[in-house]
Amino acid sequence: MDELILRGVEVRYGDLVAVHPVDLMLQPGQLLAVTGPSGAGKSSLLWALGAALRPSAGSIVLAGAELTDREQAARAGVVVVPQGNGLASSLTAAENVLVPLLAAGVPADEAGRRTADALTLVGLEESGNHLIEELSGGQQQRVALARAFGAQAVLLLADEPTSDLDAANRERMVAALRGEALRGAIVVMATHDPEAAEQADGELHLDEGVATWVRPLG
Ligand SMILES: Nc1ncnc2c1ncn2[C@@H]1O[C@H](COP(=O)(O)OP(=O)(O)OP(=O)(O)O)[C@@H](O)[C@H]1O
């Protein structure tokens, strides 16, 4: 009932088929890595899962409800961490985590607690008051992940979540993504990082939009 079910999901840009029809089922608690070379269709699949772009065919159902547009998906607890982070550069790190929680109606004291916990989880508890533009690319990536962790997603979609990080922080972020799965989220990460992929429960490889299992989900 709480699964994510993809049936025949295809993504096209005009004549280009970025993702050929794919079927997939994920349970709460599972962490899936989507791998493949640049241009293989990883981001397109993630954006479709986040209902940020409409598949040209097929359906995506989360916990029994079809995902149809980004707003409805967000209300259903679908959180996307995009490549490039999508942070507000004129806000502080803490504000980037806190403001969306307040906007979503989380009470202020709980939102504050979640913000502090999320920044601690990514090792940025000392940097909450820094403006995004004062942080390094890797620190910004960790703030983007903290924002997603604060949101307590039902479905967390992370696009290249470790691309700007050193080895220690890569490990820490993959552990945090695993923590989200242990909390009960469904987690999907697109990654070029073989070590991150290895730690997932399964690996789906895309090549020119064609998905094949390197390691099926157990
Ligand atoms: N908005 C768009 N309009 C047209 N073509 C697009 C668009 N976005 C992506 N594409 C094309 O779709 C294909 C898949 O791109 P996508 O970004 O999904 O790949 P990717 O595996 O995420 O690549 P990377 O690892 O470089 O991020 C590529 O051929 C790309 O050029």
CA distance 41 to 200: 19
**Strand ranges in the chain using DSSP code E only, listed in sequence order:** 4-13, 16-26, 31-35, 57-62, 65-66, 78-81, 155-159, 186-190, 202-207, 210-215
What structural domains and CATH numbers belong to the chain? 4-215 (3.40.50.300)
* CA gap 65, 116 in Å, rounded: 32
> Tens digits of per-residue pLDDT, 120-168?
999 999 999 999 999 999 999 999 999 999 999 999 999 999 998 999 9
Q: Whose CA is nearest to atom 9 of ligand 1?
A: 44
CB 28 within 8 A of CB 185: yes
Is the pTM higher than 0.90? The answer reads: yes
Is it the case that residue 181 has pLDDT exceeding 80? yes
Q: Is the CB of 40 under 6 A from ligand 1?
A: yes
- The interface predicted TM-score of the complex, written ipTM, equals 0.97
Q: How confident is the model at residue 218 (pLDDT cuts 50, 70, 90)?
A: confident
- Give the model confidence (pLDDT) of 11-43 as tens digits: 999 999 999 999 999 999 999 999 999 999 999
Q: What confidence tens digit (pLDDT) does each residue in 86-120 have?
A: 899 999 999 999 999 999 999 999 999 999 999 99
* Structure confidence at residue 14 (pLDDT): 96
Could you list the beta-strand ranges (E) of 36-96.
Answer: 57-62, 65-66, 78-81
Residue 1 has pLDDT above 80, yes or no: no
Identify which of 30, 24, 26 has the alpha carbon closest to the alpha carbon of residue 177: 30
Which numbered atom of ligand 1 lies nearest the CA of 44?
Answer: 18
Can you tell me the distance from the alpha carbon of 29 to that of 178, in angstroms, rounded to the nearest whole number?
8
